[in-house]
């Protein structure tokens, strides 16, 4: 049974998303039903909770107070469930994981299949989000743990462990550069390139390298979608620049080759396992975290065929994001 009334569930969704329409899509509830509950709640409390603006809904001062209290009630309820579960020693429960689209392939589906076989009482609910939305999902209590790419500093977030994926050239296996161990970024000047575009974060890293090296890239085609870049490279349009994580499955299947870029100023793509610093973790969540941490520790061999140049690190505590 839900701990919250229908009104509070709807209110929190509208407050977080800023509109009844978005809350309706998120909750799969008719917008008219959500609006009716909000109006009834405002009538009972005797004060408006939202300002109705042309661009959406904005919390009033009373609404801000109710939203802050509602989040605290939600977290307190989750803590209580965790304490009861641990007291009873249950090996079951639900774990919510927020993750980027890049992890819908590769090691995570395999890990979850193995987890289901070894611990059938644990169910996992996955929230595939844009990377910039994952932190919010974790901090708002909608996820028990998160897998974040290049996490930014946030006081509420603790990085448990991480693995770094190199950036490099991706090309067809029969391309002349395919057998190289590493290449300098300046190689871009000699090759037809398939380039990433904004909002892909990789675009900004490439722009920094262009400025630092003075290299002018000859782009034959560009795209703002990782899958499209890989498809164009496989069609022989040119050579792309991606992280190893972006192309890991195609590399394993022999459809693409990967050559790391050796420029020292080029930062790798960091995949971090994160939790909310203030949240008490359930036994089920701790078990899933332990499995992911073990996978991260094995990553140089298991995520990169033949070894690769991935690096991993246990960073709990001193490497928290402050």
As a whole number, mean pLDDT of residues 118-127 equals 89
Q: Kindly indicate the confidence band of residue 178, based on its pLDDT and cuts at 50, 70 and 90.
A: very high
As a whole number, mean pLDDT of residues 91-108 equals 85
**Which CB contacts under 8 angstroms, 24+ apart, belong to 207-211?**
208/265, 209/185, 209/263, 209/265, 209/266
Q: What pLDDT was estimated at residue 305?
A: 36
Tell me whether residue 146 is exposed, middle or buried, using C-beta atoms within 10 angstroms of its C-beta: 0 to 12, 13 to 18, 19 or more: buried
Q: What pLDDT was estimated at residue 173?
A: 96
Q: How far is 44 from 66, CA to CA, in rounded Å?
A: 13
Q: What is the reported pTM?
A: 0.66
- Where is mean pLDDT largest: 65-74, 217-226, 295-304? 217-226
CA-to-CA dists, residue 243 to 27, 203, 239, angstroms: 34, 12, 13
């Amino acid at each position: 049974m839900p701990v919250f009334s229908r009104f509070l569930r709807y209110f929190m969704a509208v407050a977080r998303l800023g509109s009844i329409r978005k809350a309706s899509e998120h909750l799969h509830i008719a917008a008219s039903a959500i609006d009716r509950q909000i109006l009834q709640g405002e009538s009972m409390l005797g004060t408006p909770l939202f300002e109705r603006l042309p661009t959406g809904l904005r919390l009033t001062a009373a609404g801000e107070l109710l939203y802050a209290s509602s989040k605290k009630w939600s977290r307190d309820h989750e803590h209580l469930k965790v304490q009861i579960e641990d007291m009873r020693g249950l090996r079951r429960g639900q774990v919510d994981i927020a993750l980027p689209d890049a992890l819908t392939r590769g090691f995570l589906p395999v890990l979850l299949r193995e987890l289901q076989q070894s611990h059938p009482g644990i169910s996992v609910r996955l929230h595939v989000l844009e990377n910039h939305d994952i932190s919010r999902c974790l901090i708002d209590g909608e996820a028990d743990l998160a897998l974040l790419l290049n996490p930014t500093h946030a006081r509420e977030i603790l990085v448990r462990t991480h693995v770094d994926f190199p950036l490099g050239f991706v090309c067809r296996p029969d391309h002349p550069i395919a057998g190289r161990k590493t290449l300098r970024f300046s190689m871009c000047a000699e090759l037809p390139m398939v380039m990433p575009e904004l909002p892909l974060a990789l675009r900004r890293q490439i722009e920094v390298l262009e400025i630092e090296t003075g290299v002018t890239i000859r782009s034959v085609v560009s795209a703002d979608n990782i899958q499209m870049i890989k498809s164009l490279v496989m069609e022989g349009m040119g050579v792309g620049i991606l992280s190893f994580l972006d192309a890991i499955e195609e590399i394993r299947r022999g459809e693409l080759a990967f050559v790391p870029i050796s420029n020292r100023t080029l930062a790798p793509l960091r995949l971090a396992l994160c939790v909310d610093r203030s949240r008490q973790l359930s036994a089920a969540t701790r078990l899933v975290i332990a499995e992911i941490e073990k996978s991260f520790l094995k990553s140089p061999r298991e995520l990169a065929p033949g070894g690769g140049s991935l690096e991993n690190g246990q960073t709990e505590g001193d490497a928290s994001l402050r």
